[in-house]
Every structure is written in C-alpha cells, then in structure tokens.
Amino acid sequence: MFRKVMRGAVGAAAALALAGASLPAQAQDFINILTGGTSGVYYPLGVALSKVFTDKVQGSRPSVQATKASVENLTLLQQGKGEIGFTLGDSLAMGWAGDEEAGFKSKLDKLRGITAIYPNYIQVVATQESGIKSLADLKGKRLSVGAPKSGTELNARAILQGAGLTYKDLGKVEYLPFGESVELMKNRQLDATLQSAGLGVSSIRDLATSVPIVVVEIPASVVDKVGTPYVKATIPANTYGGQTAPVQTAAVVNYLVTHSGVKDETVYQMTKAIYDSLPDLAAAHAAAKDIKLESALSGMPVPMHPGAQRYFDEKGIKKQGS
C-alpha cells in the first residue's frame, strides 16, 4: 500500500512538473530599443542598454534597432513598434503637439517619459580647406543637415534661422546621416556638417583624423534668438583632433521615452536598471557621463510613464517646480 501511495504521489508530482514545464515561468518581455544611425551616440548607448536589460530586467529579450533617430523613434513608439527610444527634447515636444512641419501628422498621444539623459551638443564642423570659420561663412557652401525631418535636421533649421540664414542661402543642402556626411567631406564633396550629438561623437572624431577641421562657433546671441529648449554650451578644447580651444555652441537635452502600452513593471525595471548601471553606459560612450539622477525629470515635455514615476518617487526625485 505504501509503495502504491508513493508511486501515485511521484506520478502526480511528475505530471505537475510536466504541466509546469509546458507553461513559461514568466512571459518574456520583448524590449525593442530605438536608437539612431550607427555612427552617432544613440546606437552605442542602445547596445549598452541592451546588455544592461539582459542582465537586470528579468525575463526580458532586448533588441536594438538602428533608425533615423528622434522623429522616426517617436512615430514608431506611437505605433507600438518599440518599447524604449532615444529622442531630442525639441522633437519630443513637437511630437506631443503634433507639429506637422516637424514631420508629425497628428499628436503622438501615447508617448510617455522615462528620463532625461544627456545634452546633445549642436556641432557644426567644416573642413579647414572650405574657409568656413563662422555661421555666416556657410552662405554658398555645401552643408549636410542630417536625415530629413530628423532631430538633427530640426536643430539645423533652428540654428540657421537664429543666425539669419535659411537653406536657400546655402550652396547645397545634403540630408545625410553622420557617417555619410563625413565620407563626403573626406572626398571634398561637402564643406561642412551639422551634427546634433553627445560630445566626442565617433563620426567627427573620424573626420578629424582624416582632414584638418574647424569646429564652428554658435554664439550666445544666436542661442538666445532660438530660445527654449536650446541652452548655451561649450565644446571643451581637444574634444576633437586639431581643436585646441573651447568653442561656444548650443545644446538641447535628450530623453528616453516609451509608450502607454508598455507594462508598468517593465518600465520600472528598465528605469532602475539604467540608474543602477551608469558606469556601464559611460563606458559605452562618454556622453553618458552627463546622465544624472537629480536631473532625470528636467524639462520632460510629455507625461511620465507610471513605471518610471514609481522609481523616481522611491528615490525622492521631483520635477522642478513641483
């Protein structure tokens, strides 16, 4: 009798084990990370985030998607085709408002904030051979302004306008990603490029090792004319080869965002993983050294996702003015 009972118990336990084996212990969360071009800053940081999420967000399956950056990322998030994306602050505000001129056909009402990250520096770089030393010198010259309707291109329009210039004043406008812009400059097919990115972006570093460059100043007076969300900033001396003096420029804050359909717990775990892994992100790109917990909610132009808000509530971080 005892053996029969034991056999029955073992059989029942085996059946339960098999039943359990047929069901996942925890549903896997796909986390598609929307970044930018591979020669920018968003992409290497996205790769670093993928590793962080793999290690620290239980049951997650991260992937990294190269995109045209801010505007495309926001559109994809609205469509539910990504779980977290990088964006410039001005693009984010325009997407939330549904600014058609910026490339948004309607209000992107599903966007939700995760955190402010690092500032993008608006970096205008010319070949020394072009003779360009100021924004005014861009008249009649060949300039690449980033992919059409990208965050970088929106920055280019704003900065040129602040300097009293339009695309019509230029000799030629190219709408190219960072890497392609640099290749054309190396081949003397382009005079200058405007790149909105973290300091030390690989494309400009690459250019500076190939040809003598000039990092063109964006004066404080131009930044003042452009106004919010642009702020005055400085590109430190020796950020790029041959750039021996600091250069005044403009900057705009980057954000990580998601959409309302992503689970609260997933966003909470992603947010926690980001701030638990800042040294890993800084190792992937120096721009991440500027990610600070105390400024995580700074200027966020869209509603916070409840999962991210929970993390910042736990840390006692409040939005300025609240």
Domain of 102: which CATH number?
Answer: 3.40.190.10
Q: Are 97 and 152 in a shared domain?
A: no
* Cα dist from 291 to 73, 148, 281, whole Å: 20, 28, 9
Q: Are 155 and 274 in a shared domain?
A: no
Query: Does residue 2 form part of some domain?
Result: no
* pLDDT confidence of residue 228: 80
Q: Along the 322 residues of the chain, how does pLDDT read in single tens digits?
A: 444 444 444 444 444 444 443 333 345 789 999 999 998 899 999 999 999 999 999 999 999 999 999 999 999 999 999 999 999 999 999 999 999 988 899 999 999 999 999 999 999 999 999 999 999 999 999 999 998 878 899 999 999 999 999 999 999 999 999 999 999 999 999 999 999 998 999 999 999 999 999 999 999 999 999 988 888 999 999 999 999 999 999 999 999 999 999 999 999 999 999 999 999 999 999 999 999 999 999 989 999 999 999 999 999 999 864 4
Name every residue whose Cβ is closer than 8 Å to that of residue 170 and which is 6 or more positions away in sequence.
138, 139, 140, 141, 142, 143
Query: Does residue 267 form part of some domain?
Result: yes
Count CB-CB contacts under 10 A for residue 63.
13
Query: Does residue 103 form part of some domain?
Result: yes
Asked whether the CA dihedral 292, 293, 295, 296 is positive or negative, the reply is: positive
* Residue 248 region by backbone torsions, left for phi larger than 0, else alpha for psi between -120 and 50, else beta: beta
Query: Does residue 9 form part of some domain?
Result: no
Q: Which residues partner with 61 through β-bridges?
A: 30
Q: Are 150 and 240 in a shared domain?
A: yes
Q: Are 131 and 113 in a shared domain?
A: no
* pLDDT confidence of residue 27: 55
* pLDDT confidence of residue 227: 86
Q: Structural domain of residue 282, as residue ranges? A: 29-117+254-315
* pLDDT confidence of residue 229: 85
Please provide the DSSP assignment of 9-73 as one string.
HHHHHHHHHHHHHTS-SSPPEEEEEE---TTSSHHHHHHHHHHHHHHHSTTEEEEEE--S-HHHH
Query: Does residue 16 form part of some domain?
Result: no
Q: Are 144 and 189 in a shared domain?
A: yes
- For the chain, the distance separating the N- and C-terminal CA atoms, rounded to the nearest angstrom, is 71
- pTM for the model stands at 0.79
Q: Are 124 and 227 in a shared domain?
A: yes
> Which structure tokens are listed for 43?
């992409």
* Residue 98 region by backbone torsions, left for phi larger than 0, else alpha for psi between -120 and 50, else beta: left
> Which structure tokens are listed for 81?
């085709």
108 Cα distance to chain centroid: 18
Number of domains in the chain: 2
H helical segments located in 136-177: 151-162
Q: Are 40 and 72 in a shared domain?
A: yes
* pLDDT confidence of residue 9: 45
* pLDDT confidence of residue 70: 94
Query: Does residue 301 form part of some domain?
Result: yes
Boundary of a domain, candidates 228, 252, 276? 252
Tell the residue number behind the tokens 């916070």, with chain if given.
Answer: 304
Q: Are 135 and 113 in a shared domain?
A: no
